């Protein structure tokens, strides 16, 4: 469904009349709008307490008419995948898969040399990890996440050009829908307590993020080293522990592209490291072209 002046006027009129934003969002979804677009537009208009002029409506229409294409179900990892996937002469093995929700454990997504190179490139760039504050949209420190991290833009160098293309093909999504790779290092005791990777559409700080680049729909966590003890990725709603093995990766989805709903079963945590250190690389995928 295409956003129009009539829809903008309808949203503003109902907001001023005291209607709940979630009711308006649901009504827009019923009329064919994507979950993310409906949420972003309603939230944006609800935050503006001033009267809405024709010029204001034009700006809103221009702002939210860009990058509103969502993925189709065919762009998510196919339901039927074989035991091995060959990409760039890399033989990636499928070790485990869960159909609902979609969770897949891969071996040999990265070579040992690539893991070592990524760690080496990251070491001089590491900073205390931050998270997106759902209330402000700003990146802030969070006691639930005790790690150091850094970030590489998509295709930032020769290594990441090769890796980013491989990951896009593996995850079955357009390259431009992927965020840059985030590298994290956890020392002894380092952990990331249970959290979701998707953005809570009910928090005002996420409206701009959703409008600019859409919702996160899937995650690939890659393990860059073997951990002596601890450091598993834990899915408490599923009872799954994924142990970190160098070169392996766990993939999971949490966005239904047909119903536009988020899956809380994707709740996951990085368990505390008991011995050694843990290095991971994370790739997030959006439902539309990613823009910084």
Per-residue pLDDT of 88-118, as tens digits, reads 889 999 999 999 999 999 999 999 999 999 9
Burial call 261-273: b when 16+ CB within 10 Å, e when fewer: ebbebbbbbbbbb
Exposed, middle or buried: residue 288 (CB in 10 Å: 0-12, 13-18, 19+)? buried
pLDDT of residue 96: 97
In the chain, where the domains are located = 5-64, 73-286
Q: What is the pLDDT of residue 161?
A: 95
Given a contact cutoff of 8 angstroms between Cβ atoms, the answer to whether 149 and 185 are in contact is yes
CA 221/CA 243 separation, integer angstroms: 11
In the chain, what is the straight-line distance between the N-terminal and C-terminal CA atoms, in Å?
Answer: 25
The CA-based diameter of the chain, rounded to the nearest angstrom, is: 62
**SS3 category, 249:** strand
Q: What is the pLDDT of residues 39-81, one digit of tens each?
A: 778 888 887 767 888 888 888 887 776 544 443 334 467 656 8
Length of the chain in residues, anyone?
292
φ, ψ at 37 (rounded to 5°): -65, -45
* Phi, then psi, of 23 in degrees rounded to 5: -70, -40
Identify the segments of the chain with pLDDT beneath 50.
67-75
Please tell me the predicted confidence (pLDDT) of residue 36.
65
pTM value is: 0.71
How far apart (Å, rounded) are the C-alpha atoms in residues 97 and 149?
A: 28
Class of domain 73-286: mainly beta
C-alpha closest to that of 41 among 68, 18, 16: 68
Q: Check residue 93 and give its pLDDT.
A: 97
Average pLDDT, the chain: 87
């Amino acid at each position: 469904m295409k956003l129009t002046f009539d829809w903008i006027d309808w949203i503003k009129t109902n907001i001023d009349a005291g209607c709940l934003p979630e009711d308006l969002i649901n009504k827009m979804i019923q009329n064919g709008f994507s979950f993310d677009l409906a949420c972003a537009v309603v939230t944006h208009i609800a935050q503006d307490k001033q009267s809405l002029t024709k010029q204001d409506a034009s700006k809103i229409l221009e702002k939210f008419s860009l990058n509103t294409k969502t993925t189709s179900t065919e762009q998510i990892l196919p339901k039927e995948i074989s035991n091995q996937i060959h990409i760039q002469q890399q033989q990636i093995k499928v070790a485990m898969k869960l159909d609902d929700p979609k969770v897949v454990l891969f071996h040999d997504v990265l070579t040992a040399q690539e893991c070592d190179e990524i760690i080496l490139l990251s070491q001089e760039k590491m900073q205390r990890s931050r998270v997106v504050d759902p209330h402000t949209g700003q990146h802030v420190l969070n006691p639930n996440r005790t790690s150091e991290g850094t970030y590489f833009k998509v295709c930032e160098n020769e290594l990441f050009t090769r890796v980013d293309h491989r990951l896009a093909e593996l995850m079955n999504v357009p390259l431009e829908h992927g965020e840059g790779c985030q590298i994290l290092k956890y020392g002894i005791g380092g952990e990331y307590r249970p959290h979701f990777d998707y953005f809570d559409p009910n928090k005002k700080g996420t409206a701009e993020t959703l409008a600019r680049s859409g919702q996160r729909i899937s995650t690939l966590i890659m393990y860059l080293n073997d951990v002596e003890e601890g450091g598993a990725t834990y899915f408490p709603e599923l009872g799954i522990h994924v142990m970190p093995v160098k070169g392996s990766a766990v993939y999971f989805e949490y966005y239904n592209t047909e119903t536009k709903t988020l899956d809380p079963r994707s709740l996951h945590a990085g368990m505390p490291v008991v011995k050694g250190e843990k290095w991971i690389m994370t790739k997030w995928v959006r439902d539309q072209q990613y823009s910084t």
